[in-house]
Amino acid sequence: MILIPGSYLPAIRVGDTVRYPTTGETPVVTAIHERPDGTALADLLFPSGSTGSGYRLVDLEHLVRPATEPVEQPCLRRHDPNLLCARCAEATEPVTTGCAAVLCSKPATNLVLWWPPSSGQQAKALCPADTEQHLARLRGIPSRVVDLADGTHSLLADGSGTQVANCRQCGHRIYLYPAQLGRKEPWRDGEYDETGRCQVAEDRNAIRMVHEPAVTLAERDYARAAATCGTTYDGHSLADCPARRS
């Protein structure tokens, strides 16, 4: 059977303008990610400049294809550079965690560990000024100060001083345990991970690859959107990923 023009829709590609039926908006497809079950999900750049992720490709209606294929932009997606894109505007901003001191809104730069005599180890992420004040209050209590690693966005709440980031390769949570500080390839996807290897990245590239933190907002946002499970906002590691267990 030969299909006549108008009887079918062209396959949607990156750069195409589409209609999102739920709202009637006409965004541009800036990336397409395939899940393990074969589902194709799109990142969409809306006229307002906002980017959304996780839209099923089959739910989109094709409208227009650009004359030339768009190139990668600072947001790590592909679109016309003349389009308004909030992700591009913030792309180079570093991933940070806020200072844990009361009423402080500055980003933290230091990890402070201390060992009170009446309790277990404690840890806080603090800015330089609050680091000095906190050390003064400790008054001789054993303590240690280390630089927060690039890409750290939080600490585990158990007082261990374990730093948390998102892997730029797979989008999942990764951990920098105090015992790994100063070591080569220190990030892990769990306490039982001894190598730091990123299986998702190795599957994609067929070479040995390790977990590395996303250090800019663009890297973190794109890695989360491209994660094979699509649920990285739940904050799980690759070792705990439901898509890998199924």
Residue 213 in tokens: 């933190």
Q: How far is the C-alpha of 230 from the C-alpha of 53, rounded, in Å?
A: 9
Mean pLDDT of 199-221: 93
The confidence band for 244, taking pLDDT boundaries of 50, 70 and 90, is low
In a shared domain, residues 40 and 125 = no
DSSP state of 83: S
Q: Is residue 1 part of a domain?
A: no
Return the pLDDT at 234.
60
Residues 6+ apart with CB under 8 A from 183: none
Per residue in 78-132, pLDDT tens? 999 999 999 999 999 999 999 999 999 999 999 999 999 888 899 999 999 999 9
179 & 238 share domain: yes
Mean pLDDT lowest for which of 64-78, 199-213, 217-231?
A: 217-231
The domain of 193 spans 110-245
133 has a pLDDT exceeding 70: yes
- For the beta carbon of residue 91, count every other beta carbon within 10 angstroms: 19
User: Same structural domain for residues 129 and 237?
Assistant: yes
Distance CA 125, CA 101 (A): 8
Give residue-wise pLDDT tens across range 21-75.
989 999 999 999 988 778 899 999 999 999 999 899 999 999 999 999 999 999 9
Choosing from 28, 54, 89, the residue where a domain stops is 89
Residue-level pLDDT at 236: 85
Q: How confident is the model at residue 4 (pLDDT cuts 50, 70, 90)?
A: very low
Q: How far is CA 98 from CA 89, 153, 154, 156, 176, in A?
A: 21, 8, 8, 14, 17
Q: Is the same domain home to 123 and 183?
A: yes
Token duo for residue 13: 């590609």
The residue behind tokens 């932009």 is 73
155 in the same domain as 35: no
User: Rounded distance, CA 212 to CA 169, Å?
Assistant: 7
Of 89, 119, 141, the residue that ends a domain is 89
**Domains: count for the chain:** 2
pLDDT, residue 230, reads 65
Q: Let me know whether 140 and 227 are in one domain.
A: yes
How many CA within 13 A on the CB side of residue 30? 31
Measured between alpha carbons, how far is 75 from 2 in angstroms, rounded to an integer? 41
Tens of pLDDT, residue by residue over 140-151, are: 899 999 999 999
The residues that bridge with 36 in the sheet, in sequence order, are: none
pLDDT attached to residue 3: 40
- CB atoms under 10 Å from CB of 149, counted, come to 16
Do 214 and 122 share a domain, yes or no? yes
At 74 the pLDDT is: 96
Q: CA 172 → CA 64, 128, 151, 182, 200, distances in Å?
A: 34, 29, 13, 22, 10
- CB-count exposure of residue 204 (10 Å: 0-12, 13-18, 19+): middle
Does residue 2 belong to any structural domain of this protein? no
Judged against a pLDDT cut of 60, whether residue 201 lies above it is answered with: yes
Instruction: Summarize the confidence of residues 195-222 as an average pLDDT.
Output: 93
**Same domain for 115 and 80?**
no
Q: Which two tokens stand for residue 104?
A: 């402080």
**pLDDT at site 8:** 41
Looking at residue 43, what is its pLDDT?
Answer: 95
- How far, in Å, CA of 27 to CA of 17, rounded? 6
Task: For residue 71, count CB atoms less than 10 angstroms from its CB and return exposed for 0-12, middle for 13-18, buried for 19 or more.
Answer: exposed
175, 153 in Cβ contact below 8 A?
no
Q: Please tell me whether residues 139 and 209 are part of one structural domain.
A: yes
Q: Are residues 123 and 228 in the same domain?
A: yes
Looking at the structure, tell me whether residues 240 and 118 fall in a common domain: yes
pLDDT band at 232 (very low <50, low <70, confident <90, very high): low
* pLDDT one-digit tens code per residue, 172-190: 999 999 999 999 999 999 9
The domain boundary residue, chosen from 89, 119, 144? 89
Instruction: Confirm whether 9 is domain-assigned.
Output: no
Q: Give the pTM.
A: 0.85
118 plus 238 within the same structural domain? yes
